[in-house]
Structures are given as C-alpha cells and as structure tokens.
C-alpha cells in the first residue's frame, strides 16, 4: 500500500476521516430536496432486474431460467454476449431531462457503473465501457451535457465496490442437469476483464473484498470518473469502500470541486448506509452525552425512545438543546370489553403491563358486570402463578381499575379521556368501536391481538405516548424525523391588494417598522 501513488488534488481536505468530517453541505444540495437518478445499463436488455448479471449464473433462479430459455445456457451465451445487445439507439437525454425538470427535479444523477463491471462512460481503465461496446456512446457525458443545459447539478453513482465478489458466480457451473460441471463463461481467463478473476470469494461472505489489488483498481477507476465527468455528487452503493483508498477518493472529489469553485467545494459524497454507531451507555448520563456531546459520543439533534423515570426526566431537561419525541411514562394498558370477551384473555393482557413496574397501570372498562367479576378472579389466579408477583400486586393496588359503564358509548368516552398507551378492543364489533376511538397510542383489535404482539412482533413502532399524551402525541414514526419549512411568495400585484390591511394590523400593535416594511414598497401610490 505504501508504494501506491494517490496523487490527490490539493485543497482544504486531507485524506482522513477527521478532515472529511469538517465537510459542510453545499447550499445547492441542501436546498435541492428532490433529484432524479438514472439506474440504466446493459442489464436493462432482458428486463429482469438490476442483478441480472449475477442471477443469470445462479442455477435455478428466475433469471437463470429466463436466460437459458431466451439466449442459451450461460456456458455458451454469457453476460459478455448480452452486453453488446444494449444499443441505446433511442436514447434522448435532453428530452428526458426536460421531463425531469418539469417533474420538479433539482439535480440529476447518472449511473457510472453497476456491480456488473460495465462503465457507462469513456473509461481509461476498463475496455468494457459504453463507448467501446454496445451503445458506442458516452452515456454519462451525454447525461451531463443535458443536465447542464437545463441548469441541474450533475452527479454519478458507482456500484463498483462489490463487483469483485458480486460476479463470482460467473466462475461456477451447474450442479445438476445436462450441463452439470460445465463451466460458465466467467471461468474462462480470457473473459477476466469483465468477470474478474475471483472464483472463490463469495458475496455471501462480505459485500467488499479484502483483495488490496482490487482496492487499488477501484480507486483508479472511480478517480477516473471524478476527473473525467467532474460530478458535484458521487454516490457509493454501500459504505465508503476500502479504508484509506476511499478516504483519498473523497478528499480528491472535494478538493477538485473546490478548485473549480474558487476554493469552496460544491461536491457531495453520499453512500448507501454504513454500520451504525452503537454506544453502550444508559441512564440520565447517556441522555446528557447525546444532547451535549462528549469526547467519544457526538452530539445529536434529536433523542427518541422510552426509558425509566431518570431517562424521562433527563429528556425533559435537555429539551430545547435537542428535540425529543415525548416524555414517556410508565407502561399502560386499557382494555375495552363487552360480555363476549374471554375473561382469562383480558386478565392475562392486563397483567402483561402490570408486571413492568409498580407505577404501571392496567385498566378494564366494560359494559358487563359479570365479565368484570370474572376478570378480577382470573387476575388473582394469574398473579399467584406468575413470576413478578410483588410488582404486579403493587401496580394493581395503586393503578389497577375495573370500570363498569352502562353503554358502549360511555366506555368509549372513558377510553378517549384516559388516552392510554395501549388500547385493546375485545367486543362483538371491535372495528366499529375502533372507528370511534380518538385517543390511543396503539390499538389492538380482537381477542387474538394481545399487546405483547406490539412489543415483539407485529411491526408498528412501539415507542408510544403515555400519561394521557395520546390526546396530542402520536407513536414514533417517520414524521418525527422530517423537518418542515413554511414557504411564502407574493407577487407585487398580490401584495398591492392587501398591503393596507397588513399595515393596519401592524399599526394596531404599534409596530411601526413592521408596517413600514410593507408600506415602503408602495410609496407615492394611492
């Protein structure tokens, strides 16, 4: 590795993570919001998915069967023979870019290469490229010119990092059938420029190879992409590849962009996921670390999730320095039931939450006095049988209730007022009841949808509002991680129609500068 010459562009970024972390997102990308990406290459010919070049060599797969049926067995007609069939004869990048702009796109990203090891530009390092084979066109350059014509920043995606292991199946052979043992065309050394020379390092053992020779090849080829196409966005289909090679590549991307833009890089590097940072910390001190940052734990913008009373109060204390989802209290369950409910089921479900801690609440609201008495008896039986007896007894003593109402309408009103974290509905018509419930964190319908399903298996997010906050909070969801902005635009004509009204509002509050900022635009006019 020490003999390899990186020779990156000079600029503000050094090829290490500490330096790259000083990256500041350029304004164009922060404001773009919406871009369109083209995921297009030779694998589009059979129209069987973007993993066709791999799956056609996987005996028994749909792609394998289709390929054999349509083109022939992969020992006789391989991916190398399919690539020339991609002609792109009707490719109209300007026409497409016009549609993308009309759709609202603020930037465009074209695919430089997929895992199939085929380059969509005039590659200096790979003979399998769109200028030499197939379309005989520089696909990415044509995309770039079209994007620039419409004023869109241009980016490229690279999927090369996994190619070495991804193409390994092409070196195999059928294990059964008439071609058993007959090598696929990838096993022929003369085809190694497309299929690589890897016949043993499998994708299943890791997305990225440890082969340093291949790391260097990846660097050269992606460096060629950056230098040739000068993208303002580079996407990697996976984590940043290959340690120092990836760090040098990103530093080069940023520095080259800075050189084109007067010293301030306009380039963006993005990637598909990475291993998440996991810190084994807990308690109020963990909340403090996340809110303010430490030497080992970076500051975050939002803290979500439940915890004990110390965690809940710590979240309350740091609110304002960071955003939080809500202040979660002890666990709660409320069961709505009528005479059709199974009392053993109801009792078991109530105790599923009472065992959490002594502050947990378990409430049954029913129209049936008979059910209420039977549930009470079953609770006593279960409490003595189950392991957390003392906790359950304390919980039920302090926060356990059975309420009997005259009508189902009263039951629903009580449930909406309590606004429980977990609400189970065990009635003859549970869906009718559900439609009248306004306030609940998670609703479980029917006698076979007990609350622990939400804890462990059912799927919806189980970070839920407690302590009656379901009246105004929702379960944790995608919306909690979306930040919105208001956008206001008035033309001169529109403002002219209402400017005196705005000035009057401001004057009534004695905010003369407010009024003036409107009035100054119509000085000298009636």
Q: Tell me the catalytic residues.
A: 421-422
Let me know how many helices (H) and strands (E) the chain has, helices first: 21, 12
- Cβ(269)–Cβ(298) under 8 Å? no
Round to whole Å and give the CA distance between 382 and 395: 14
- Cβ(153)–Cβ(215) under 8 Å? no
CA 142 to the chain's CA centroid: 31
- Cβ(382)–Cβ(345) under 8 Å? no
Residue 152 token pair = 């869109």
- Cβ(416)–Cβ(438) under 8 Å? yes
Give 408's strand partners. Answer: none
The 10 Å Cβ neighbour count of residue 472 is 10
Please give the DSSP secondary-structure letter assigned to residue 145.
Answer: H
Residue 456 token pair = 């462990």
Give 404's strand partners. Answer: 366
Helix (H, G, I), strand (E, B) or coil at 413: helix
Residue 435 token pair = 């439609």
Phi, psi of 455 (to 5 degrees): -65, -40
Beta strands in 370-510 (DSSP E): 400-404, 422-426, 442-445
Beta strands in 134-208 (DSSP E): 154-158
Helix (H, G, I), strand (E, B) or coil at 329: coil
Burial 17-53, CB ≥16 within 10 A → b, else e: eeebeeeeebeebeebeebbbbebbbbebbebebbbb
Q: What is the DSSP string of 372-412?
A: HHHHHHHHHHHHHHSS-HHHHHHHHHHHEEEEE-SSHHHHH
The 10 Å Cβ neighbour count of residue 127 is 11
- Cβ(366)–Cβ(400) under 8 Å? no
Please give the DSSP secondary-structure letter assigned to residue 276.
Answer: P
Helices 283-292 and 309-318 cross at an angle (nearest 10°) of 20
Helix (H, G, I), strand (E, B) or coil at 333: strand
Nearest Cα to Cα of residue 15 among 248, 324, 325? 248
């Amino acid at each position: 590795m020490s003999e390899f010459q990186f020779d990156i562009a000079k600029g503000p970024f050094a090829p290490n993570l500490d330096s790259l972390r000083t990256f500041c997102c350029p304004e164009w990308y922060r404001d773009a919001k919406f871009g369109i990406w083209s995921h297009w290459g030779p694998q589009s010919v059979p129209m069987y998915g973007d993993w066709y070049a791999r799956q056609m060599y996987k005996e028994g797969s749909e792609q394998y069967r289709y390929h054999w049926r349509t083109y022939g067995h992969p020992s006789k007609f391989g991916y190398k023979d399919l690539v020339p069939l991609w002609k792109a004869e009707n490719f109209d990048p300007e026409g497409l870019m016009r549609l993308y702009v009309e759709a609202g796109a603020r930037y465009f990203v074209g695919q430089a290469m997929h895992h199939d090891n085929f380059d969509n530009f005039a590659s200096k390092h790979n003979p399998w490229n769109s200028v030499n084979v197939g379309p005989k066109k520089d696909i990415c350059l044509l995309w770039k010119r079209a994007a620039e014509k419409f004023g869109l920043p241009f980016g490229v995606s690279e999927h090369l990092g996994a190619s070495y292991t991804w193409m390994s199946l092409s070196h195999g052979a059928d294990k059964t059938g008439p071609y058993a043992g007959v090598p696929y065309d990838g096993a022929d050394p003369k085809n190694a420029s497309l299929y690589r020379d890897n016949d043993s390092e499998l994708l299943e053992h890791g997305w990225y190879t440890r082969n340093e020779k291949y790391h260097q090849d990846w660097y050269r080829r992606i460096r060629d992409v950056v230098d040739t196409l000068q993208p303002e966005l580079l996407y990697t289909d996976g984590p940043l590849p290959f340690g120092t090679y990836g760090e040098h590549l990103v530093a080069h991307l940023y520095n080259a962009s800075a050189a084109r833009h007067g010293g301030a890089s306009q380039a963006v590097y993005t990637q598909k996921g990475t291993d998440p940072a996991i810190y084994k910390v807990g308690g109020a001190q963990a909340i403090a670390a996340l809110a303010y940052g430490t030497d080992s734990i970076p500051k975050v913008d939002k803290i979500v999730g439940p915890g004990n009373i110390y965690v809940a109060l710590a979240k309350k204390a740091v609110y304002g320095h960071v955003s939080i989802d809500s202040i979660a209290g002890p666990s709660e369950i409320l069961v709505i039931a009528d005479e059709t409910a199974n009392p053993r089921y109801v009792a078991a479900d109530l105790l599923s939450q009472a065992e959490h801690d002594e502050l947990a609440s378990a409430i049954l609201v029913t129209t049936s006095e008979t059910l209420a008495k039977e549930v009470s008896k079953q609770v006593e039986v279960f409490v003595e049988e189950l392991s957390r007896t003392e906790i359950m007894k304390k919980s039920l003593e302090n926060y356990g209730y059975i309420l009997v109402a005259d009508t189902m309408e009263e039951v629903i009103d009580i449930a909406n007022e309590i606004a429980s974290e977990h609400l189970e509905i065990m009635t003859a018509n549970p869906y009718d009841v559900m439609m009248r419930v306004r306030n609940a964190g998670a609703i479980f319908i029917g006698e076979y949808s007990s609350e622990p399903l939400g804890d462990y298996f059912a799927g919806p997010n189980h970070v839920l509002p407690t302590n009656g906050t379901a009246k105004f909070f929702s379960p944790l969801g995608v919306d909690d991680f979306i930040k919105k902005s208001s956008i206001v635009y008035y033309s001169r004509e529109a403002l002219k129609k209402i400017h005196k009204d705005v000035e009057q509002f401001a004057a009534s509050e004695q905010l003369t500068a407010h009024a003036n900022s409107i009035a100054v635009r119509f000085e000298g006019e009636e």
